[in-house]
Amino acid sequence: MKRNLYAVSAASVVLMLGGPVAAAAAATADTARTAPAAAARVDVTAEAAIAAALKAHPGVVESVDRDGSVWHVDVISKDGKHAELKVDSAGGAVSKENQDDDDGDDRAPLLAAKVTAAEAAKAALAAHAGQVWSVNWDDDDDNGKRYWDVEVKTADGKTQNVHVDPASGKVIASNSDADDNDDDT
Question: How crowded is residue 97: how many other Cβ atoms within 10 Å of its Cβ?
Answer: 12
Determine the Cα angle at 94 with ends 131 and 155, to 5°. Answer: 10
Q: Please, are residues 71 and 86 in contact by the beta-carbon 8 Å criterion?
A: yes
Question: How crowded is residue 3: how many other Cβ atoms within 10 Å of its Cβ?
Answer: 7
**Which DSSP helix (H) or strand (E) runs through 99?**
strand 94-101
Residue 185 has pLDDT above 60, yes or no: no
Q: Please, are residues 137 and 63 in contact by the beta-carbon 8 Å criterion?
A: yes
For the question of whether the overall pTM of this predicted structure is more than 0.75, the answer is no
Asked which of 68-82, 91-105, 146-160 is least confident by mean pLDDT, the reply is 91-105
Residue 32 has pLDDT above 50, yes or no: no
Q: Which one has a higher pLDDT value, 145 or 14?
A: 145
